[in-house]
Amino acid sequence: MNTASAPTLSVLDAIRQRHAVRTYTATPLAPGAVQTLLDAAIRAPTAMHEEPWEFLVIRDKDVLSLLGQRAKATLARAGRGAATPEMARLHDAFADPQFDIFYGAPALIVVGSLQTGGFVEADCWLAAENLLLCACSLGLGSCVIGLAVAALNDARTKADLGIPAGFHAVAPIVVGVPAPGAASAPTARKPPHVLLWK
Ligand SMILES: Cc1cc2nc3c(=O)[nH]c(=O)nc-3n(C[C@H](O)[C@H](O)[C@H](O)COP(=O)(O)O)c2cc1C
């Protein structure tokens, strides 16, 4: 459901049901839905009430495509001579021209900041989690795309896309309507490992 209002899940239900979605329909993400997601993001707790977060909203297919290509090229370079099997697997995926790191999602929302400071990243991740849960609550799919961080923070890419040079991307998140057949169940978790409970 691509709607800007009428969340259908409680917070607890959204926490329990949220999962990474990696197949999307081409349905554009409506500006109202984007605004609802941003409004949820900025309700996150923030150290010393600094609200350091800034957002990039990218819905343009050509821009998403360019960013995806840049990210793959950056990561393929970094993955050469990869030390771990996982990096080697990713390196192969990046070499595949068909592999879309954004999974065909109609929108990428990037949480980041123009500020530096000890808690800036924490604030951005808290905002990101609010956004992810809000998306789930609205019936939208989402996925954090850590693979896009390096490209988003690359000076040439910033200049080409009009991203302010001082912006530091922290949490890129794709959002959209899950395609039929997309994973619809939450993934498993280990039980909480409590080291101290007095
Ligand atoms: C910091 C971070 C970076 C991530 N980067 C990617 C990514 O680049 N591509 C991707 O498909 N999933 C990415 N994910 C999603 C994780 O793979 C996913 O959250 C994890 O497998 C657990 O699955 P779940 O979200 O469905 O519970 C990322 C998640 C986090 C927290």
CATH number for 120: 3.40.109.10
* C-beta of residue 105 within 8 angstroms of C-beta of residue 113: no
Establish if 43 belongs to a structural domain. yes
* C-beta of residue 109 within 8 angstroms of C-beta of residue 175: yes
* Structural domains counted in the chain: 1
- How much is the average pLDDT of 100-105? 97
Contacts with 171 (C-beta within 8 Å, 6 or more apart), sequence order: 110, 111, 112, 124, 125, 127, 128, 144
* Residue 162 in this model has a pLDDT that exceeds 60: yes
CA angle centred on 145, ends 57 and 175, rounded to 5°: 50
* Residue 74 in this model has a pLDDT that exceeds 90: no
Report d(CA 23, CA 176) in Å as an integer.
Answer: 9
For residue 75, the model assigns a pLDDT of: 82
- How much is the average pLDDT of 27-31? 98
Cβ of 187 closer than 6 Å to ligand 1, yes or no, is yes
Whose CA is closest to atom 15 on ligand 1?
144
Place of tokens 């995806």: 68
- Give the distance (Å) from ligand 1 centre to CA of residue 145: 7
Cβ of 86 closer than 6 Å to ligand 1, yes or no, is no
Band of residue 87 on the pLDDT scale cut at 50, 70, 90: confident
Establish if 198 belongs to a structural domain. no
Establish if 46 belongs to a structural domain. yes
Rounded to two decimals, the pTM is 0.94
Whose CA is closest to atom 28 on ligand 1?
144
Establish if 132 belongs to a structural domain. yes
Mean pLDDT of the chain: 93
Report d(CA 151, CA 158) in Å as an integer.
Answer: 8
* C-beta of residue 87 within 8 angstroms of C-beta of residue 164: no
Distance of CA 184 to the CA centre of its chain: 18
Helix (H) or strand (E) holding 142: strand 141-144
189 CA: nearest ligand 1 atom: 27
Residue to mutate (ligand 1; options 121, 143, 190; most atoms within 8 A of CB) = 143
- Give the distance (Å) from ligand 1 centre to CA of residue 143: 6
Establish if 154 belongs to a structural domain. yes
Q: What share of the chain is helix, strand, coil (3-state, %, to 5)?
A: 40, 15, 45
Establish if 31 belongs to a structural domain. yes
Whose CA is closest to atom 5 on ligand 1?
146
171 CA: nearest ligand 1 atom: 1
Phi, psi at 132, each rounded to 5°: -65, -45
Containing domain of residue 108, as a range? 20-59+104-176
For residue 7, the model assigns a pLDDT of: 56
For residue 83, the model assigns a pLDDT of: 73
Quick: pLDDT tens for 144-161: 999 999 999 999 999 999
Establish if 184 belongs to a structural domain. no
Establish if 26 belongs to a structural domain. yes
Residues in the chain: 198
